């Protein structure tokens, strides 16, 4: 299989409380994950990217969480995301939720929970790792078209 391309639009962020912020950088814009290698008789090798940094400042009146959702009309292939916290304000840290499968039309799914209300405890940053996967039976982008995801990250009261 050659040519699977997942375009991940990371340009949307939602914040429920005015004092809360979440921001990210994706190394210059949308991410492109291409699956181009496979061993004969096996499914293609997954493609990964960990160049996206996410930072947050909850400063809310309630414990917060960061959620993720996506839209990808006509999704043909697998896409997953995981947040790894790399720095944290003093005090109690939150709870990473592990790898999340991103599917078209999914509801907000917890990516990171238990962000405290205090500053700097409610401040932190981490790395988003995306993993694209495909099986031989799913075909190739040449036939199926590219998957284009618009991913929404939200920080909200838990």
Q: How far apart are CA 4 and CA 138, in angstroms?
A: 10
Q: How far apart are CA 8 and CA 102, in angstroms?
A: 11
| Whether residue 149 has pLDDT greater than 80 | yes
Alpha-carbon distance values, 81 to 31, 117, 138 (Å): 13, 25, 20
Q: Where are the beta strands (DSSP E) in 89-146?
A: 95-96, 100-102, 109-115, 123-133
> Does a cis peptide bond (omega within 30 degrees of 0) precede residue 133?
no
In this prediction the pTM is 0.80
> Two tokens at 108?
């907000």
Q: What is the pLDDT of residue 83?
A: 93
Residue 107: count other Cβ atoms within 10 Å of its Cβ: 6
- What's 74's DSSP letter? T
pLDDT one-digit tens code per residue, 66-112:
899 998 898 888 899 999 998 887 666 788 899 999 999 999 999 99
Q: What is the pLDDT of residue 46?
A: 87
Alpha-carbon distance values, 57 to 39, 72, 87, 135, 157 (Å): 44, 28, 12, 39, 12
């Amino acid at each position: 299989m050659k040519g699977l391309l997942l375009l991940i639009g990371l340009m949307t962020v939602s914040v429920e409380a005015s004092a809360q912020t979440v921001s990210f950088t994706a190394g210059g814009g949308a991410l492109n994950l291409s699956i181009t290698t496979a061993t004969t008789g096996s499914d293609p090798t997954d493609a990964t990217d960990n160049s996206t940094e996410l930072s947050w400042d909850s400063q809310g009146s309630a414990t917060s969480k960061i959620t993720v959702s996506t839209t990808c009309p006509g999704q043909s292939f697998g896409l997953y995301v995981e947040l790894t916290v790399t720095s944290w304000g003093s005090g109690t840290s939150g709870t990473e939720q592990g790898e999340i499968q991103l599917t078209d039309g999914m509801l907000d799914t917890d990516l990171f929970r238990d962000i405290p209300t205090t500053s700097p405890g409610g401040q932190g940053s981490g790395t988003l790792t995306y993993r694209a996967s495909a099986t031989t039976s799913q075909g190739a982008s040449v036939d199926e078209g590219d998957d284009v995801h618009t991913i929404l990250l939200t920080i909200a009261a838990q």
